[in-house]
Amino acid sequence: MTIDVFILTALRSAEGASVSGGEIAKKLGVTRAAVWARIRELRSLGYEIEASPHEGYRLLHTPDLLLADDLLARLGTGRIIGRDIRVFQETTSTNDIIERLAVDGVREGVVVLAESQSKGRGRLGREWMSPAGKGIWLSVLLRPKLLPHETTQLTIAASTSVARAIQSETGLAPEVKWPNDILLGNRKVSGILTELHAELDRVKYIILGLGIDVNQEETDFPVPMRSIATSLRIETKHSVNRSNLAVALLRELERDYSRICRGQFEAIANEWEALCSTLGRDVSVRVGERWVHGRAESLANDGALLLRTQHGHLEHITGGDVSLRK
């Protein structure tokens, strides 16, 4: 833990009360002047810290910055997801970074965040706009004991995690759309890109990538996207703190991932079904170059969508583009 993280943790655990500079200095084994120097440094990063000669220091406001050390300290230890966090100012895509870490044999749970991505991508190689400081662009390396075709479970789990994190941080009520979209009022606010590396019958690793549009204003989106994309700021009408959201999200991901590792996908599937805007609707799904039409009936136990075709046949779909039929 760095000195900064120690100071921030001390200030946070006081929950709005003051903490004496002398006390912090003593625990750290440094001088009071050294603590004061770090406080000024933290202020320059945007942390609003009140300093009173008698009371000590008080944290008034955390800036909307993604700092690996701070995120790590807030998450605490004993977890898989986020036990190692790396923040980049800019990268091609956080999934690319995770892929390189995976090839180098890094263990599961490492999280990569970027302030901006120059080649952020969605499913099927589509572009994902990732402007600096406006969203959460995040990827996680996972090495679960799943069969390759069960990977859809992780996309489903991540969708519910994102929905819960948005709900707890903003009070909004997101819906999920199979397999990988999170919607607010029928507009997309978040998407998930699950990349699988596997043998025929064994998963080697999975890159779970996700993007959440947080603080874009309407004008940040190109005109043709405005009817289909939204952000938390647009929906709540105020800016949303990304680091708080990232912490909430990583906690939710941890919870769902440990449920999957314990074989409790069914509980996640039930939560997902309650959030879902796709089930019970007539949909068309494009799978590769084939279209399947039918009623979205339920989730299979591997995370696939079960579609009842007009001939009454139940199709088992592991991935594809869903559109609602009018």
Is 37 or 103 the residue whose CB approaches a second copy more closely?
Answer: 103
Residue 319 in the binding site for a second copy (CB under 8 A)? yes
Task: Check binding of 151 to a second copy (CB under 8 A).
Answer: yes
| Beta strand residue intervals within the chain, DSSP E | 48-52, 56-61, 84-91, 110-117, 135-142, 175-177, 181-184, 187-199, 202-213, 282-287, 290-299, 305-308, 314-317, 321-324
Based on CB atoms, which residue is closest to a second copy, 56 or 211?
Answer: 211
Strands 110-117 and 84-91: parallel
Whichever of 27 and 286 has its CB closer to a second copy, that residue is 286
- The distance of Cα 303 from the centroid of its chain, to the nearest Å, equals 19
CB atoms within 10 A of CB 325: 10
- 3 state SS of 151: coil
Shortest distance, CB of residue 105 to a second copy, whole angstroms? 10
Give the integer Cα–Cα distance in Å for 191 and 167: 16
Question: Whose Cβ is closer to a second copy: residue 197's or residue 308's?
Answer: 197
| Spatial contact of 128 and 117, defined as CB atoms under 8 Å apart | yes
- Sorted by sequence, the CB contacts under 8 Å of residue 213 that are 6+ apart come out as 134, 135, 188, 189, 190, 229, 230, 231, 232
Q: Does 202 bind a second copy (CB under 8 A)?
A: yes
Residue choice 56, 191, 294, 320 for contact with a second copy (CB under 8 A): 320
Work out how close the CB of 194 gets to a second copy at its nearest, in angstroms, rounded to a whole number: 6
* Binding residue (CB under 8 A) for a second copy from 21, 109, 174, 179: 179
Q: Does 324 bind a second copy (CB under 8 A)?
A: no
Q: What string marks each residue from 53 to 82 as x (binds a second copy by CB under 8 A) or -?
A: ------------------------------
**Closest to a second copy by CB, 80 or 292:** 292
Give the residue with the Cβ less far from a second copy, 11 or 322. Answer: 322
Distance CA 72, CA 81 (A): 10
As measured in angstroms, the least distance from the Cβ of 202 to a second copy is 6
Q: Name which of residues 228 to 287 contact a second copy (CB under 8 A).
A: 287
Cβ pair 196, 206 in contact under 8 A:
yes
Cβ neighbours for 33, distance < 8 A, ≥ 6 positions apart: none
Residue (43 or 126) nearer to a second copy, CB: 126
Site mask, a second copy, residues 91-130, x = CB under 8 A? -----x--xx--x-------------------xxx-----
Stretch that binds a second copy, among 6-14, 200-208, 227-235, 244-252 (CB under 8 A): 200-208
Q: Which two tokens stand for residue 114?
A: 């970027």
Which residues, including other chains, have CB under 8 Å from residue 289's CB and lie 6 or more apart? none
* Shortest distance (Å) from residue 176 CB to a second copy: 15
Q: Would you say 99 or 256 has its CB closer to a second copy?
A: 99
**Interface with a second copy, residue 316, by CB under 8 A:** no
| Spatial separation of the C-alpha atoms in residues 110 and 98, rounded to whole Å | 8
Sheet of 282-287, strands arranged across: 314-317, 305-308, 290-299, 282-287, 321-324
- Which residues bind to a second copy, rule: CB under 8 A? 96, 99-100, 103, 123-125, 147-149, 151-152, 155, 179-180, 193-202, 204, 287-288, 318-320
